[in-house]
Amino acid sequence: MNIINLQTYVWVASFGSFRKVAEMLHTTQPAISNRIASLESELGVRLFERGPGPAPITLTAKGAELLPFAEKILFLQDEIKQRGMNQNKDSGIIRIGAAETIVHSWLPAFLQTLNTEMPNLEVELRVDVTSELHKALLGRSIDLAFLMGPIIEPTLTNLPLCNFPLAWVAGVGLDIPDRRLQLEELAQWPIVTYGRNTLPFKEIKDRFREDSSKSARFISSSSLAACFRLAVDNVGIATLPMSMVQQAIANKVVKALDVDWMPSELNFTATYSTTPFNSLSEIAAKLAVKCASNYTDSDINEIIIHSPATHQRNN
């Protein structure tokens, strides 16, 4: 039985489209149709119902019955490769997507560890916001994502990674009182924060709308590095991950503000597709969990314990 045909069967069942699978595999739609027709001929059953026009491809009753067995065969094939004695068993390419918060924390340590433990593996890295990484996972253009999760989808697995507290920070040149501040007091300066299509931006905007009699002005960006630069240059008050700004606070490049409200912590997961199973994604995801845990334990806690922002978070 042709493994490529089985893989195609699983992909078409997942996408419900010959065209989408052809685009993902960089081949033609007729080639995908031929693979499925060949497998159906070998098995003596129809696996898919082909509707007219652009209607989605659906599994027949027999196609749905046989699908778990095809997935198991592909899983076992991958296990055999991983357990083999070939020194290049971890070779290949893994496509990883990461939110920028992760880039500014433990991602370098993760990539160094991945290179040490899987030296034959090539990495394609994409940095983007969670909503786009979510789409990329479902579209199979990336294999593994470090994003704000979990993402509830039957074909995705989520491993808890880490939580990042946020901090209000401002450039040392802004004339901000050295005391606890009401949230509405911040509205006299521009609020520099995450891009508009993110959960942190929505939460911050909604809270200002609820608590402040004065309309807040926002400078939103998908680049945390740009947000940090704007804070350093006294353009406005920024809300950024404490892990990103802790050294700058210690060096008095920016100052942490004691505000009576803080946005929620950012919760991250390592999320990857299990249909079909990809052992490289699973191995890399578990390695990321270890790297995130080590980073959190050794590099963040001490700064947060002694930062001005901690006092108000605990109240």
Q: What are the DSSP calls for 268-287, one per residue?
A: EEEEEE-SS--HHHHHHHHH
Q: Is residue 234 domain-shared with residue 224, that is, in the same domain?
A: yes
Please tell me the total number of residues recorded for the chain in this structure.
315
Q: Please list the rounded mean pLDDT of every run of 10 residues in the chain (315 residues).
A: 87 86 87 90 89 75 88 79 56 89 91 90 91 90 92 90 94 92 91 91 91 82 92 94 90 93 94 82 93 67 36 36
Q: Is residue 127 domain-shared with residue 251, that is, in the same domain?
A: no
> Can you give the pLDDT at residue 143?
92
> Can you give the pLDDT at residue 98?
95
Q: Is residue 131 domain-shared with residue 278, that is, in the same domain?
A: yes
Report the first-to-last Cα separation within the chain, whole angstroms: 63
Domain's final residue, options 63, 83, 103: 83
> Can you give the pLDDT at residue 19?
86
> Can you give the pLDDT at residue 85?
44
Report if residue 310 sits inside a domain: no
Q: How many domains does the chain have?
A: 3
CATH of the domain at 52: 1.10.10.10
> Can you give the pLDDT at residue 90?
64
The string of pLDDT tens digits covering residues 113-135 is: 999 988 888 999 999 989 899 99
CATH of the domain at 136: 3.40.190.10
Report if residue 312 sits inside a domain: no
> Can you give the pLDDT at residue 53?
62
Report if residue 16 sits inside a domain: yes
- CB-count exposure of residue 63 (10 Å: 0-12, 13-18, 19+): buried
> Can you give the pLDDT at residue 16?
84
Q: Is residue 239 domain-shared with residue 186, that is, in the same domain?
A: yes
Report if residue 229 sits inside a domain: yes
Q: Is residue 151 domain-shared with residue 287, that is, in the same domain?
A: yes
> Can you give the pLDDT at residue 197?
86
Report if residue 108 sits inside a domain: yes
How far apart CA 156 and CA 134 sit, in angstroms, is 10
Cβ(70)–Cβ(6) below 8 Å: yes
Verdict on whether the full-model pTM lies above 0.75: no
Domain's final residue, options 53, 83, 113: 83
Report if residue 314 sits inside a domain: no
Q: Is residue 196 domain-shared with residue 69, that is, in the same domain?
A: no
Cβ(80)–Cβ(130) below 8 Å: no
* Domain carrying residue 96: 92-163+266-303
Q: Is residue 270 domain-shared with residue 291, that is, in the same domain?
A: yes
Report if residue 50 sits inside a domain: yes
Phi and psi torsions of 102, nearest 5°: -70, -35
Q: Is residue 185 domain-shared with residue 255, that is, in the same domain?
A: yes
How far apart CA 306 and CA 142 sit, in angstroms, is 39
Domain's final residue, options 83, 109, 129: 83
Q: Is residue 140 domain-shared with residue 289, that is, in the same domain?
A: yes
Q: Is residue 136 domain-shared with residue 274, that is, in the same domain?
A: yes
How far apart CA 259 and CA 220 sit, in angstroms, is 20
Q: Is residue 57 domain-shared with residue 138, that is, in the same domain?
A: no
> Can you give the pLDDT at residue 260?
92
Report if residue 45 sits inside a domain: yes
Q: Is residue 277 domain-shared with residue 157, that is, in the same domain?
A: yes
> Can you give the pLDDT at residue 303?
36
